[in-house]
Amino acid sequence: MPELPDVTIYVEALQARVAGRVLRSLQIASPFLLRTVEPPVESVLGKRVLEVRRLGKRVVLALEEELFLAFHLMIAGRFRWLPPGAKRPGKIALALLGFESGTLVLTEAGSKKRAALHILRGEAALARLDAGGLEILEADAAAFNAALRAESHTLKRALTDPRLFSGIGNAYSDEILHAARLSPVALTSRISAAEVQRLYVASRTTLTMWIDNLRRRFGARFPGPGEITAFRPGFAVHGRFGQPCPVCGTAVQRIRYAENETNYCPTCQTGGRVLADRSLSRLLREDWPRTVEELEEATKRK
């Protein structure tokens, strides 16, 4: 799922291409995409785009007459920008927005259609889509501490809760926790003030670094297919299960649950302890390795 750095890149790329342009056409190819009935689709046609915004993980096109197109890409939704006359993608296209300068295409790979579009009128209606999470890059340490300790959760869950923090998901929470040298299962109610400060700095540094990295990578061009991804070569731990941690060389471990997984370095983050993966720990029971040393020995025996 595109998160804060990725969505920021989309917003900046779209701002350069559609701000000040009139929306000439809007074709919705999937009945599952549009989640609102009022105002109707026809109401946005002929309206000029005033600005492009980020709202959490959503990309919002703000039009004249306080009309908004709010896109949530979910896991597999992505944008493509087609210059005039370019061939349009086939079955994966969910929506096509026509401008004089080109066509914005919303695509979604796979059979599960989860991406969403809300057409809204008025700032109040748009605000109802905002889960209320803190914008870390705009917040001071005190506000971060208050949001983090508002409820007792694991650090992983807290960072990915949109009611607490805006725009952070599975990928960047792994990277932030690795940079902060904190366990993903540490409880927000039990970490020290120094650890909270470390997490605050790591959050801001990690998000800013990746925004800057992606800006340098894409420059003025629009991200192409496969370039907005949750798995980047420069990540320290996310998506790198079994590969060496770039800091200490220990094999990155994971906790799998539902469709997600948490990746972490046992040496850097959990004091050498291997966290139990639910499915594997149920299978292995007392044979589940608890330390890096036990894990390495078990691996050698295979």
Domains of the chain as residue ranges with CATH? 4-127 (3.20.190.10), 136-301 (1.10.8.50)
Taking 50 as the threshold, does the pLDDT of residue 262 lie above it?
yes
Taking 80 as the threshold, does the pLDDT of residue 291 lie above it?
no
Asked which of 64-78, 114-128, 223-237, 245-259 is least confident by mean pLDDT, the reply is 245-259
Taking 70 as the threshold, does the pLDDT of residue 213 lie above it?
yes
Structure-token pair, residue 220: 């003025």
Taking 70 as the threshold, does the pLDDT of residue 64 lie above it?
yes
Q: How far apart are CA 59 and CA 76, in angstroms?
A: 15
pLDDT at 90: 81
pLDDT at 70: 98
Taking 70 as the threshold, does the pLDDT of residue 244 lie above it?
yes
CB contact at 8 A, 51 and 62: yes
pLDDT at 83: 94
Taking 60 as the threshold, does the pLDDT of residue 145 lie above it?
yes
pLDDT at 278: 57
